[in-house]
């Protein structure tokens, strides 16, 4: 079974540019989460999808961040325009059962974003 995949693995952009990160969850997983780790700090939640619906966007930093999950399969996270403080590692995770707090989330390898 393929795990969670993320693309690209690294992205270096200049301030003001746009970047789109992609996440492909494990097949059949309805839950998809985005997290990020900034500057060696703790990993913070960004948002949660169940299928194509956003269930919780409370962690999204501001309206420069836009996440989509069309068709309930892969998800994209767009940052437009990027700022220096957006640099960090963006992780995607998926799990099988919506609403089950004990369900294990499986993480992708992350995308390292550097904004210059």
Partner 1 sequence: AQSVAQPEDQVNVAEGNPLTVKCTYSVSGNPYLFWYVQYPNRGLQFLLKYITGDNLVKGSYGFEAEFNKSQTSFHLKKPSALVSDSALYFCAVPSGNTGKLIFGQGTTLQVKP
Residues in 51-70 that interact with partner 1 by CB under 8 A: 55-56, 59
Nearer to partner 1, 20 or 105 (CB): 105
Q: What angle do CA 10, 11, 16 make, to 5 degrees?
A: 160
User: Which part of the chain contacts partner 1 (CB under 8 A), choosing from 14-22, 33-41, 61-69, 70-78?
Assistant: 33-41
Number of Cβ within a 10 Å radius of residue 68: 14
Q: Are 2 and 54 in contact (CB under 8 A)?
A: no
Nearest Cα to Cα of residue 87 among 13, 22, 5: 13
Q: Which of 7, 20, 30, 45 binds partner 1 (CB under 8 A)?
A: 45
Contact range with partner 1 by CB under 8 A, out of 17-25, 41-49, 64-72, 78-86: 41-49
């Amino acid at each position: 079974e393929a795990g969670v995949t993320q693309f690209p693995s690294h992205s270096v952009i200049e301030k003001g540019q746009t970047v789109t990160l992609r996440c492909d969850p494990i097949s059949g997983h309805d839950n998809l989460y985005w997290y990020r780790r900034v500057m060696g700090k703790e990993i913070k939640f960004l948002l949660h999808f169940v299928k194509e619906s956003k269930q919780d966007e409370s962690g999204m930093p501001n309206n420069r961040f836009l996440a989509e999950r069309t068709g309930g399969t892969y998800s994209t996270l767009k940052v437009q325009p990027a700022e220096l403080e957006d640099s960090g590692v963006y992780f995607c995770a998926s799990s099988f059962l919506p609403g089950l707090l004990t369900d294990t989330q499986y993480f992708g390898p992350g995308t390292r974003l550097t904004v210059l």
